[in-house]
Every structure is written in C-alpha cells, then in structure tokens.
Amino acid sequence: MSSPIITVENLSKRYVIGHKVASTDGLRHVLDGAIRNPVRWLTDKRRRAKEAREEFWALKDVSFAIEQGEVVGIIGRNGAGKSTLLKVLSRITEPTSGRIHGKGRIASLLEVGTGFHQELTGRENIFLNGAILGMTRAEIKSKFDEIVAFSEIERFIDTPVKRYSSGMYVRLAFAVAAHLEPEILVIDEVLAVGDAAFQRKCMGRMEEVARHGRTVLFVSHNMAAIGRLCSKGLVLQQGRLSHFGSTTSAIAFYHSTLQLNGNRLGEDAGHVLYSCEPSSVESQFAITRIELLDGQKRPAGAFHTMDPATFRIHYTAPRPVSRAAVSFSVSSVDGSRLLLLSTQPDGAMELNFSRGPGVVDLSFPEMPLAAGVFTIGAGLAIPNVEWLCWTPELCQLNVLPRDVYASGLAPSSSRCLLALTHNWELPIDSNTLKASRETTAR
C-alpha cells in the first residue's frame, strides 16, 4: 500500500503579537529615572516590553494524512487557521513545531501576487514560476499557449504584472498554477476575486486536475463548491483540527458549530443571533451583534416563513470612515448565496463611521425564506473600494414552517429555499379555450 502524499504530524504555528502600551510618563520623568537608577529603569522597560507581547497560536497540534488523488476542502470561520495551514504546507512559512512530509511539486495560489515578480511581464512570470516548480524551459514552452489561452489576457502577456488589475492577476496566477502539472495544487479563497464565469472555468479545471490523479487542497466559504469538488473535508476551529472525514459529514459538522457559536447568551437572548465580546474587536472593524426583531421592532424569539423581520446590526470602527457601508447576506447551508444587500449601493443610506460602536436596522415586510436553516453573513465596506471586514458565515437563522399558501404543505428548504407571494391564472376564459380545442379536433 502506498504512503500518503501529504502527512502532517502535530503541526503548530505561533505568532507573537505586539500591543502598543501607552506611557503616562513625560520625557523629563523618563530621563530622570534613567539617570537616577539606570538598572531599575532598564528592568522596568524590559518588563513593559514583555507585557506588550502576546503569543497567538494560528495552528495547534494539527495532524492528518491525505492520499494521492484526493480533493480536500478546508473549512472554517475567519481566523480558524486555514490560510496559515496552506502557507505552511506550501513552504511559504515555517512551522513552529511539528512535521510535514510531502511528495512531489506543490503549486499554490494563496493570495493575489503570490509567486509573481511585479517588475516582470506575464510571459516572464510564467517561465519563472515553472522554473520554481523544477520544470525545464521546454516543458514550460509546451504549456505556454494553453496557459495564456486559459487566462484570457493574451493582449497583456508582455505587460509588467504590476499594471494588471486584481482580476487579471488571478486569471494568470491560476492558469500557471493549474497547468504546470504539479502533484499537489493548493488554492485559497483568492478565486473569489474573479468573475462568475471565470470561477466556473476554474472549478472545471480543478475537477480535471483531480481526474488525472493529482491532489487538490481547496479553501472556500462556498459550501456548494466544496460539496461539488471535494471528496473529503477538513474543519479547523481556532487553529485546531475539529473534524476530518467525508465532505458531507464535514459540512454538517461545520454548520453545527456555527449554530453553537452563534448563541451563547443565556435564556433571555433568544432574539440575538450573534454576539461577540467587545474587548476582542475594539481595535478592528467588526460586526459585534445581530438581533432579530419583529414587524414592530420588538425582540423576536421565533421566526416563521413570510414574517416581517428587522435585523439590527451592531458594529464597531477603530477610526472614522466617510462614505462607508454595512452589508448583510443570507445563504443556504451549502453556501449558495440567496441575498446580498448593503446600505450602499443597494440602498440609499450613506454612512459615515465614527470611532467606536454604531448600529443600523435592515427591515423586510415579508421575509420569503422557506422553513429550514440559513446562514447569515455581515460586514463593513467602503463601497466599490474595499472590505473593511466581511464574514459570510457569521451565524445561523432558523426559520419555522408556515402554510403560507393554505395548501396543507408548508414550504421547506428541503424542497425549495424561497416562498414568494404569487398568483396562478389562465390567460383566457376556460370556456373559450375548450371551444377552441373542440374546433381544432374536428
């Protein structure tokens, strides 16, 4: 029996986070202390520097094995350690402890710009990447036309990549990574930068790579893509491996953790879908709380299909931002997005973030979700410029059944995802239609 193509044993990665410590001492006081008692002053300085450093374990004692030809989806919330794991596997960063054993060449697409030299042209970067993977010039030339055609940037292949848009960058980077025949292909969420047509093209290419017996590691928040492409799923939580098994079981486990993490707030907080400790996000842009309210904006402990609903979204900003936006999404449990709305440009509310907390309400006269479980996402952005923060799987919303059509059958997410107000009618009088059919029969 052949050994696994990737073996990870007790892998850990530690980072040291520095915190700025404000000093209440003036310059005169500092100089006086240094002159009067330099040993004590130096000791205090070192103590304060040590207190300002915090250890953060991005990965902790992670162990697993992947066989050749397996396509593994790596799943987890933001900050779970997914990207760190891929960087360590790709030898971009060294682990703090543990062991990795891999066989064959690894091609990685982890973030826009990885592996490319800004001053070189697209053509030169293709040959550079091939050389890094250990390919000969002849091997690279045999694949060159295929790479360029897939990337769809023929006109700009001799332009320095520093002038490429992010979409062009990703097109070329994925084409290089997927066509230079690596034994292991590692892809992070960076594909989300591309348009929908290119994402479908990339998915097809990854399926083709997998059919040829190569190994693929794929990080995505899109559970539909994970379910379609991957044969196994690996779930990370706060840097630790929580589950490793079939794709179906991994996705189910991941969604169960979302439901558990979304509400830890006591019996009287059933309307609170999500909340986090303010101290954990006070230095960054973050969504801090989401509440579910009814049509009169009272706390709603239960929610049924077609109920009026208001989602009260609390956030915090570490600095003022003008012309900002709050965004909100609803997805099915497999990651298919049903709804994405923002205060701008989808709405006409222009926000200016002040430093500190803020809140907005998003109201629906009738929320058309069928009975089942849905995933809520939220974030902060500068519209059409950048995401300040974005989490597509922040918490879950449980929708209870209601026979909205008076048919004896309540719409359920196992049959459909949405329940919409609608009418059925015949375009002409039924008697006229009957007479027309009889005339045609004669």
Instruction: Assess if residue 51 is contained within a domain.
Output: yes
Query: Which residue segment(s) compose the domain that 206 sits in?
Result: 66-258
Whether 407 is in a domain gets the answer no
pLDDT band at 80 (very low <50, low <70, confident <90, very high): confident
What pLDDT digit, counting tens, does each position of 386-401 carry? 889 988 888 888 888 8
* 288 domain-assigned: yes
Note whether 119 and 197 are same-domain residues: yes
- Position 77 in a domain: yes
In this structure, the answer to whether residues 284 and 381 fall within a common structural domain is yes
Strands (E), 53-187: 53-66, 71-75, 97-102, 106-109, 184-187
Q: What is the CATH number for 241?
A: 3.40.50.300
CA-to-CA distance for 424 and 191, rounded, in angstroms?
A: 41
Q: Report how far residue 85's alpha carbon sits from residue 272's, in angstroms, rounded to the nearest whole number.
A: 32
Contact 109, 267 (CB under 8 A): no
Helix (H, G, I), strand (E, B) or coil at 75: strand
Say how far apart CA 298 and CA 268 lie, in whole Å: 13
- Of 58, 133, 65, 60, the closest CA to residue 102 belongs to 65
Question: Is 151 within a domain?
Answer: yes
Pairwise pLDDT comparison (17 vs 274), residue with the higher score: 274
Tell me if 101 is assigned to some domain.
Answer: yes
Region 57-70: mean pLDDT is 90
Whether residue 306 is found in the same domain as residue 393:
yes
Residues 173 and 277 reside in one and the same domain: no
Banded pLDDT at 268 (limits 50, 70, 90): very low
Q: Can you spell out the DSSP letters for 307-330?
A: --EEEEEEEEESS-EEEEEEEEEE
Q: Which amino acid is at 327?
A: S
Strands 309-317 and 356-364, sheet pairing: antiparallel
pLDDT of residue 347: 76
Residues 201 and 282 in one domain: no
Which of 196, 225, 258 lies at the terminal end of a domain, its last residue?
258
CATH value at residue 389: 2.70.50.60
What letter would DSSP give residue 9?
E
Same domain? For 150 and 85 the reply is: yes
List, in sequence order, every residue forming a beta bridge with 49; answer none if it has no partner. Answer: none
Number of domains in the chain: 3
361: pLDDT strictly greater than 90: yes
Within a domain: 289: yes
Q: Is residue 15 predicted with pLDDT exceeding 90?
A: no
User: Is residue 86 classed as helix, strand or coil in its secondary structure?
Assistant: helix
Identify whether residues 321 and 199 lie together within a single domain: no
Strands 240-246 and 232-237, sheet pairing: antiparallel
Indicate yes or no: pTM above 0.85. Answer: no
Is 219 part of any domain?
A: yes
202 and 229 share one domain: yes
Check whether residue 168 and residue 283 sit in a common domain. no
Note whether 43 and 73 are same-domain residues.
no
216 and 321: one domain?
no
Residues 207 and 229 sit within 8 Å (Cβ to Cβ): yes
